[in-house]
Chain A
């Protein structure tokens, strides 16, 4: 539990500054520091336990399916990092209090910083691979916020984006690596994974897991060729840089190398990937650090270089080198954090970070000068400072690397070269900035910073010196503890942290490094001149340009693909359907089934021929709408005849009624279409469409034929048998509609009702062009409502309504029913509308259609709900014979009530559509209505 607090307290601490800022800036800083300080206290309290070889653990089950649990561990390596993260973090909080200006939102800054701190603590204490990954990505995200903190600066935004992209991509790769690793070992539990090194290394997936995990580590630690994001992350406020690039963010990468050392290291592949990458990065970073004119730029590249050094140490596959790596992590964190903070002071007090302008600052800030000099000396590897110790271990280890065979001498040689450059840029950092003449055109007159802004540096410098002088009595315990977690049990090397090892080769190399460094610095202008011939490219610019190029390409691709053509979209849909159904047919051994074909009489043949012809004509005359529409109605009429011919009178009636209503509505709709049809498609297009339509028609016809020629063994006999005893009706179709499958009908009338509402919504606020003449320019007849039609329609109305009632009532036993009856009634009313005009009809039929349609569905629903009263499921029907005086025996069924709902819905919805479409032509256009 105490272990959880180490992570939990800083997480809670995220909220503290947001609230604490109300108490003032200084209080805010103190309050923010409180929780991490407690966490640090807890860590120190746990430290003796860790030193004695225990690994405190915490476990809270979370997602067993993913093998992801809140599992924490505090082994030596974790302890070391927790101390660094919390310790330096606290110093950064103090420093930032003085660094941030009044305009910066301090609460937000500290909140981001605490979030970042939490995620770093999570990485180093996780005892579960996926949990580690969770925190890993969280550092990328929180660093995005930190780097982009000064969001008004373009550099900050770009730098933040680039850092997030690179480290985020690495994180995704790491996820894949961890998942693979977890699958190799069979668990995500880190304690188990750490014990399974041999199993992992012998797995066939080792190479993939290794590469994926290393990609994660290298992107995070800014290893070549992913180093470019780091210098651009310097757009962040300096406390952020000091934190991210000394003890945390970039150290997460090398932490991962250390963490995975027992599992993944020890193979040739590990050496080639890790050590050589580290070596290249070491040299690359060191060379560019020498060239940069920006104070933080120098530090950024030196960070890259030192990370390369640490990476290389872990890559050397020797326990001792790993020790050196861990040791250098500590040392680098201390001197680099202090250097960044010193650079921040210079920036803060002088208003610039340009080395060309900054000179001779020792006169103005002697104290800061002294501190920075010691830190830089440690970076250069000057004896009696901590940097010297680990660097000498590094040089000595480089001598023991023999993996390159005959070329193995290159490793120590290049290591020395790196150290030479390191000494040179350290010297440059100090000499150019603090000495070397007078400052030029500084925006501010430099002076010493506030007392407490310097305090964090002093503490760190003190550490550099103490560790440098008394390594064995200060860090050896921590180092030992950390190393036991890194090096496989039984291979722990004898750690000898003496300053003096006698005259040996590493000492010579160190001396060469320092001497060479001075020499290189002295001759730096030659290097500058040499380098001038290369055009320097800003990674931000390249990154932005390439992102924008990718975005542009993506936009072009999408715009071209989704070109807004409905025809294209339909093409793909139909092509897919065609391909699938054709595939099914091809898999069929033969098309026709066992059933013998019915004989064809002449009426059927003629009808079928007309059906085909009118179908074709519909398409052929598509530019002449009226003809096309008439052809379409011929199709519909023939279909209803076909229904009648093949003994489906209900369907025939329905089809007939639907046909009438549809045609009228279509005519109304076509009226509003533009008079001119757009130009004909190109020949190729037509060819494509004809082929597709032909093929699709062929396939659908084949499907039909195949189905119809096969014997049907279906549940339909049940409906025939139960229609009378169970449903109380002789018309099976109607009983199916209102009883067996009444629920479908309920759904469909709902659809109908919504369709009416949808039309209303569609027309609402739609500005339609109202043509005053036809295509040839002939004006529409002024006499819009022919008198004969009007009088006929009016006299027909009561009769037709009576018919519709008749059809409705007989529906349960004979062809008819609510749906057909409703359509008949609707068609009659439509006729009246046509004959007399919308305005006339509207005045006389003074009721809203929406409530009628809604009432219809509601009646149907309530009928269904009625069965609940009798303890039956929804829509259970009941029927019985009643004797009514004067009329006689009558069968009444609840289904009739349901059918009444259908009837009303059909009438209401149809007229709602019609009235709304019609209304567009009148002064009562819906667009004028508010709602």
Chain B
């Protein structure tokens, strides 16, 4: 079975999802058990992949046994392994949280959840650009369905914006793909990377257009300014367990940029070398500024988390734009951190909402929450972590990114990033002291967190502590992943080895 390891992250949730969807009705308990077990297995698969990828070999899996560059392949390197494991961990916590009752607010939750995972994992694993598009579609439609879970006006409205913008993005993806296939004549990423090196100068402009169209789509997915608009409302409206899983979706955009614009349009891309960098750098800075303002403006804990996500998006884009090995290593560490923590914060906001009666998650004076100490502590730790204050993983991630800047980049990066952190501090101090301290008389309402929800919230927010303690080995791993990414020839050789034996291009 181990030779099929690479397809497990896709097949496992697919089969589990289909089984779960067989009957719309059906025993809830069974669905929960299947959903949680499948996700647990996914975590194990993720761990296996991370360990497998650590021997520095890049493996591929040729679907239908059609060898690259002709067939579709899945590729396992350190980057895809990290992303799959992060997704699996986040998903496990989310699905456990959802099993406390949120899954029952609408139909087909667990099945759709698994298919969403299939889409996300597929995007991380694939080595084929059109296949990436397909998985973008899978995760988009599944996320739309999940966003609608439970229904309601707010979700429907946010959902329309979400789906329309993203479907438009899909069309642009196809435009870009069409142009690139027209000039490069291949869809296999490794093959495209080779072909772009020998690209005729007269084709360069057209290929650039195609590449930048792809970049637009990935920026939209990553929620960069000015294409982030779909994010705040949709994420704030989504059911907590879904919103938590969604935190990895912006990272799919980041991942796609990282993959495509290091492998195909990276250093060695001749006329098109590193074309994305200035856009990412300035776009990231602009996003960071906007997100800083956004965090201050948030009237609701969920919205606040949304802008915290945007802060992380800006930070990640900047790191992408810097493109040093150290900054890529830093951004990978930061990605794991921000995905898990913001996911945990969405869950926490939901628990708080549940215990505050009419005030919900709004940042207003209201009756106290039922479990002030527990929730207060979780909020405190979560905020420290997400803002990037010591001693937790956010600080490590941000310090790594700050440190990776070169002298000329510091002048822009440092003040922007640090001031956005300050905005975070101000906003979190206001929100936290209002929600937990500025309470009116009145009996707390709602239900205590319960076992399943506690597992979800504690594990995600607590992950920050794990990420901190094991920051040494983790950063070593991300450093190795960054090295791998910045030597695309290794990727190409692993996949197109036959081409070195004379198969002319």
Contact A580 B216 (CB under 8 A): yes
CB distance from B109 to the nearest CB of A (A): 9
Interface string of A46-70 (1 = CB under 8 A from B): 0000000000000001111110100
Chain B contacts with A in 166-194, Cβ cutoff 8 A = 168-169, 172, 175, 178-179, 181-183, 185-188, 191
Is A168 a contact partner of B205 (Cβ separation < 8 A)? no
Given contacts A175-B418, A569-B229, A585-B205, contact A65 B326 (CB under 8 A): yes
Using an 8 Å CB-CB cutoff, how does the interface string of A139-155 with B read, 1 for contact, 0 for none? 00100110010011010
**Once the chains are docked, how many angstroms separate the CA of A744 from the CA of B380?**
45
Please provide the chain B residues from 15 to 48 with a CB less than 8 Å away from any CB of chain A in the complex: 15, 18-19, 21-25
CB of A748 within 8 A of CB of B134, answer yes
Say whether A157 contacts B212, CB under 8 Å.
Answer: no
Chain B interface category by residue count: 35 or more
A573 and B186: CB pair below 8 A?
A: no
Whole-angstrom CA separation of A186 from B202 in the bound complex: 46
- The stretch of B49-57, B93-101, B458-466, B472-480 that contacts the partner chain: B472-480
From the candidates B4, B70, B179, name the one contacting A703 in the complex (CB within 8 A).
Answer: B179
Determine which of B11, B62, B142, B426 lies in contact with A547 in the assembled complex, contact meaning CB atoms within 8 Å: B426
Smallest CB-CB separation from B105: which chain A residue?
A931
Structural contact, B296 and A764, CB atoms closer than 8 A: no
**Residue of A with least CB distance to B434:** A157
Bitwise interface map of A from 848 to 884 toward B, beta carbon under 8 Å scored 1, else 0:
1011001101100100110110001111110000000
Given A138-B391, A754-B138, check contact A707 B182 (CB 8 Å): yes
A residues near B148, Cβ cutoff 8 Å = 758, 761-762, 764
Instruction: State whether B212 touches A580 (Cβ < 8 A).
Output: yes
With A175-B402, A570-B168 as contacts: A554 and B389 at CB distance below 8 Å: no
**Contact residues of A between 818 and 859, Cβ < 8 Å to B:** 848, 850-851, 854-855, 857-858
Q: Which residues of B contact A585 (CB under 8 A)?
A: 205-206, 209
**Please, how many angstroms separate the alpha-carbon atoms of A203 and B44 in the complex?**
51
Residues of B within 8 A of A761 (CB): 106-108, 145, 148-149, 151
> Would you call B120 an interface residue if the criterion is a C-beta within 8 Å of the partner chain's C-beta atoms?
no
Q: How far is the CA of A108 from the CA of B418 in the complex (A)?
A: 31
Which residues 72-128 of B have a CB within 8 angstroms of A? 72, 104, 106-108, 111-112, 115, 118, 122
Residues of A within 8 A of B135 (CB): 747
Task: Return the chain A residue nearest B397 by Cβ.
Answer: A66
| Residue contact B151 to A854, C-beta cutoff 8 Å | no
B210 contacts which chain A residues (CB < 8 A)? 584, 703
Question: Chain A 410-435, CB within 8 Å of chain B: the 1/0 string?
Answer: 00000000000000000000000000
- CB proximity of A518 to chain B, nearest CB, Å: 44
> Which chain A residues (89-133) contact chain B, with CB distance < 8 Å?
108, 130, 133
A172 and B422: CB pair below 8 A? yes
- Asked if A160 contacts B209 (CB within 8 A), the reply is no
**Which of the residues B11, B134, B211, B475 comes within 8 Å of A63, measured between beta carbons?**
B475
Across the interface, which residues of A come within 8 angstroms of B7, CB to CB? 873-874
A152 to B438, CA, bound (A): 6
Cα(A317)–Cα(B396), bound, Å: 35
**Contact yes or no, A703 B206, CB < 8 A:** yes
**In the bound complex, how far is the Cα of B424 from the Cα of A562, in angstroms?**
20
Is B490 an interface position by the 8 A CB rule?
no
User: A148-B433, A765-B152, A873-B62 are contacts. A137–B389 as well, Cβ < 8 Å?
Assistant: yes
Selected contact of A134 from candidates B112, B165, B391, CB within 8 Å: B391
Pick from A66, A169, A572, A583: contact of B227, CB under 8 Å: A572
B203 at the interface (CB under 8 A from A): yes
Is B282 close to A, CB under 8 A? no
CA distance A584 to B279 in the complex (A): 14
Interface centre among B107, B115, B152, by most A CB within 10 Å? B107
Question: A873, B61: Cβ atoms under 8 Å?
Answer: yes
A66 close to B425 (CB less than 8 A): no
Interface residues of B, Cβ cutoff 8 Å to A? 4, 7, 11, 14-15, 18-19, 21-25, 61-66, 69-72, 104, 106-108, 111-112, 115, 118, 122, 130-131, 134-135, 137-138, 141-142, 144-145, 148-149, 151-152, 156, 159-161, 164-165, 168-169, 172, 175, 178-179, 181-183, 185-188, 191, 202-213, 215-216, 219-220, 226-227, 229-230, 232-233, 290, 293-294, 296-297, 299, 326, 329-330, 373, 380, 384, 389-391, 395-396, 399-400, 402-403, 410, 414, 418-419, 421-422, 425-426, 429-430, 433, 436-439, 471-472, 475-476, 479
24 A-B pairs within 8 Å (CB atoms) are namely A66-B396, A141-B389, A157-B433, A165-B422, A564-B233, A572-B226, A573-B216, A575-B226, A580-B209, A580-B213, A584-B211, A587-B208, A715-B70, A740-B64, A747-B137, A754-B115, A757-B108, A758-B145, A758-B148, A762-B159, A766-B151, A854-B21, A874-B7, A931-B25
